[in-house]
Structures are given as C-alpha cells and as structure tokens.
Amino acid sequence: MSKHAFIFPGQGSQFVGMGKNLYENNPQAKELFERANSILGFRISDTMFSGTDEALKQTNVTQPAIFLHSVIAFKTLVTATPDMVAGHSLGEFSSLVANGCLSFEDALKLVSIRAKAMQKACEQNPSTMAAVLALADDKVEEICAAIQNETGEVVVAANYNCPGQLVISGSIKGIEIACERLKAAGAKRALVLPVGGAFHSPLMASAKEELAAAIEATTFNIPTCPVYQNVVAKAVSDATEIKKNLIDQLTGAVRWTQTVQSMQTDGATHFTEVGPGKVLQGLVQKVFKEAVVDGVN
C-alpha cells in the first residue's frame, strides 16, 4: 500500500512575509501565532511578516519562525493523516508536533532553546559550512577525515541532501582547506555558505549539552506514526530513542538522502512538504524520481 509522508524544512527556507496569509485569513492560525509571541516573549510574527532579511536571518529568530510557519500550516491546512513524518534538521521538531510526539508549546520552547544555544556556540567558535557539488559522498568523507588527521582542524560531512549534494561543516580554516582539496578532487563546486557557524559538527557540543537538559525535562508522547530521524535515517517510534536522536542531531549529520531512501523502502510514494519554500520537494525528487511531491504553506 502506498504511503503519504509529510516532511518539514529547516533553516534556509525563511523569507520575509512567511506565514502572513495564514495569520490574516485563518483565526486558528492567528491564535497560534499570538500564543507563540507570548511564549517567546517578543512578537516574532512581526519579524516574519514585515521584518528585514537581516533580522530574519538571526538563528534565534530563523529557527522558531520556520517551525511556526510549518506547524501552523500543518495544524490549519492539512486534513490528511500522515503515515510517516520527517524533518530536515530543525524541521525534525515540526515533524514531532505533526505526529503528536510533542505539544506545540513544548516544541516551540525547545526550538527557541536550541536556536539560542546554537547562536551562542557560533559566537564562541567562529566556523562555517560549505556545499560540495558533484563528488561522491565517500570521497568527500575521505578528504574531510584526512584534513582532520593532518591539521587537527574540524571538518565533517554535515548534510547529505541528495546524491551529488553534500554540505560540510567545520572550522573556518578546515573548510577553506577542504574546499581547495575537494575542487582538486573533481567537485564541480565547493562553495562556502553564508551561515553563522558549523551546524551538525562537533563544534556544536556546547549547544548539545544545553539542548539535552531541556529535552530530558520535556514530556514526549507516543507518536501516532513513525518519525524518520536525521541521524539514523530510519523509522523511530520509541519516545526515549526519539529524544536521544534529537540530541545527537546537533553534532551529528543530517542523513536526508538516506532518510528519503528509507521512507521509499517503507512504502512512501507521496511526499508533502509543509512550511516555507520548496527545498525539500526538490531534494526528494533527486533521490526518488517517481515520487509524487507537493507542498502546503
């Protein structure tokens, strides 16, 4: 039987004006945005609807903003019941609200703690990420490992987005060396990204500690359907395991290619991206060409 997967985007999908239509045309959405404003202690909805690109790009704003757009769209526009859910990085929190594992309020609080802790880790450790195009994953991993061994600089594979697109993460020097070597090894591009830090790398260890304490203190319910988590790229339904994987995700890789492959193996044929942008729809089609993909926002 073919299954319907709901997937939720991560950082990078934000845009000024996101969620404004929902707020203006849907009383339930408006109520949820206002609840979020009071939980966060500032009017994030104002920044989302009419702020500057710069204000929206701050990690501690971006993450709750994308989460809110995704979850409020899911709660107010989606009538189908997911057979499975997944999210890219931050999107994993949205997916855990969609399958009932986390409440809206608890998930928003965790996202806010995560975003602030990550921002702090970025300020403590100037670091960055780079997109590597058209080079085999194992080749990228091999080159990153060699640089770490030789120089002691942190550089790791962070986001396996789709075949031929892998994002690496690490110290500024480590990433610079890696970009040169990866191009020499045949990568079509190795391009430093405009991000504030080395997400999904060991340089997020301090943020991981802070998030772990908050996650351990939060109630996780039995989910209504499995979540395919970034670090293990397979179906998980046990609340204790979900918590562990969510914590490990901060310093571990986002295995999106492998996640989509697992969902496909388990019967998913229809993928609906819920939230801002269409990034994941494009990635799913690159992994699984026959998939039906659409979006809700």
- pLDDT bin (cut points 50, 70, 90) of residue 245 is very high
CA–CA gap between residue 10 and residue 67 (Å, rounded): 8
Residues near 52 by Cβ (< 8 Å), separated by ≥ 6? 16
Instruction: Please check the confidence at residue 12 and state whether its pLDDT lies above 90.
Output: no
- pLDDT bin (cut points 50, 70, 90) of residue 284 is very high
CA–CA gap between residue 134 and residue 113 (Å, rounded): 35
Cβ-based neighbour number of residue 179 at 10 Å? 20
Query: What domains are there in the chain, each with its CATH number?
Result: 3-123+202-296 (3.40.366.10), 126-192 (3.30.70.250)
- Compute the mean pLDDT over every residue in the chain, rounded to the nearest whole number: 96
Per DSSP (E only), the strands in the chain are: 3-8, 84-87, 127-133, 155-162, 165-171, 189-192, 227-228, 235-236, 268-274, 292-296
C-alpha closest to that of 72 among 112, 31, 43, 14: 31
Residue whose entry in the numeric block shows the structure tokens 């339904």: 237
Lowest mean pLDDT among 64-73, 193-202, 234-243: 193-202
- pLDDT bin (cut points 50, 70, 90) of residue 259 is very high
Instruction: Please check the confidence at residue 256 and state whether its pLDDT lies above 90.
Output: yes
Give me the catalytic one of 127, 171, 200, 201: 200
In a 13 Å sphere around the CA of 57, the CA atoms on its Cβ side amount to: 7
Instruction: Please check the confidence at residue 195 and state whether its pLDDT lies above 90.
Output: no
Report yes or no on whether pTM surpasses 0.75: yes
Is 2 annotated in the active site? Answer: no
Which pLDDT value is given to residue 228? 98
- State the amino acid at position 53 in one-letter form: D
CA–CA gap between residue 15 and residue 13 (Å, rounded): 7
Average pLDDT over residues 134-150: 97
Instruction: Please check the confidence at residue 163 and state whether its pLDDT lies above 90.
Output: yes
Which pLDDT value is given to residue 289? 96
DSSP 80: S
C-alpha closest to that of 86 among 244, 251, 261: 261
What's the helix, strand, coil split of the chain in %, to 5? Answer: 50, 20, 30
Instruction: Please check the confidence at residue 59 and state whether its pLDDT lies above 90.
Output: no
Instruction: Please check the confidence at residue 194 and state whether its pLDDT lies above 90.
Output: no
CA–CA gap between residue 63 and residue 71 (Å, rounded): 12
Q: What is the pairing mode between strands 292-296 and 165-171? A: unpaired
Give me the catalytic one of 89, 127, 169, 262: 89
Which pLDDT value is given to residue 58? 86
Is 200 annotated in the active site? Answer: yes
